[in-house]
Copies of this chain bind each other. A is one copy, B any other.
Amino acid sequence: VSSYHHGDLRRAVLDAALDVIATDGPAALSLRDLARRAGVSHTAPAHHFGDKAGLLTAVAVEGSDLLGETLADGPLELRELGVRYVRFALAHPAHFAVMYRPDLLRPDDPALVAARARTSALLRGALTTDRRDGNAPPGADTTSDPHGDADLAATAAWSLAHGFATLWRAGALTPALAGRDPEEVFRSLAGVLPA
């Protein structure tokens, strides 16, 4: 193994970044520190990511794909999707912490736009299929439904799951629910949603 070329510096820097973000948040990131952790000179990371926003954009791309995988792999009623969303957020806290921070990354980056489009197309397709199978909320137009009941229900489910995961991670919920399994708690919580 040559010691001059790292082998997979890109991956190594990403992993170091995920580690730092999960522990101290995205604000604590420094390219020099990541280089140090990867055992490489401090200018090397710039070669792969340009700057900090580039690195965080790469994290968001990866997060979007991971989220897509997590959501796609299983049954697709709205409630179960929420459970999976919560699972993703707690299993990949660093990705989750970065994905919805347009101030920290480049929201218009082509790779990021593409990744988001992949996940959302996948999700839209799945939900449409599910509705056709008879799981539509009462009164929903199952063919095309812009801004209609089904879209509202999806937005509600997303908000519920996102809010729950965020509050849980912040420790805002735990006093009352300490020690319980977050997915299980969310599942009962999501009883408020239309099936």
Binding site for B on A (CB under 8 A): 24-27, 100-104, 107, 146-147, 151-153, 155-156, 158-164, 166-167, 170-173, 176-177, 188-194
Contacts and interface: CB of A to CB of B under 8 A. Distances in A.
17 contacts: A24-B103, A100-B166, A100-B170, A102-B171, A107-B171, A147-B176, A152-B188, A152-B189, A155-B164, A159-B159, A159-B161, A159-B164, A159-B167, A159-B189, A160-B163, A162-B163, A163-B164
Contact of A25 (B24, B103, B160, B191): B103
A147 to B, nearest CB: 7
Contact of A155 (B151, B152, B155, B173): B173
Contacts of A164: 155, 159, 163
Contacts of A158: 163, 167
Nearest to A161: B163
The DSSP consensus for interface residues of chain A is: helix
Nearest to A189: B156
B176 A167 contact: no
Contacts of A171: 102, 107
B192 A156 contact: yes
A164 B173 CA distance: 17
A170 B96 CA distance: 13
A37 B160 CA distance: 39
Contacts of A26: 27
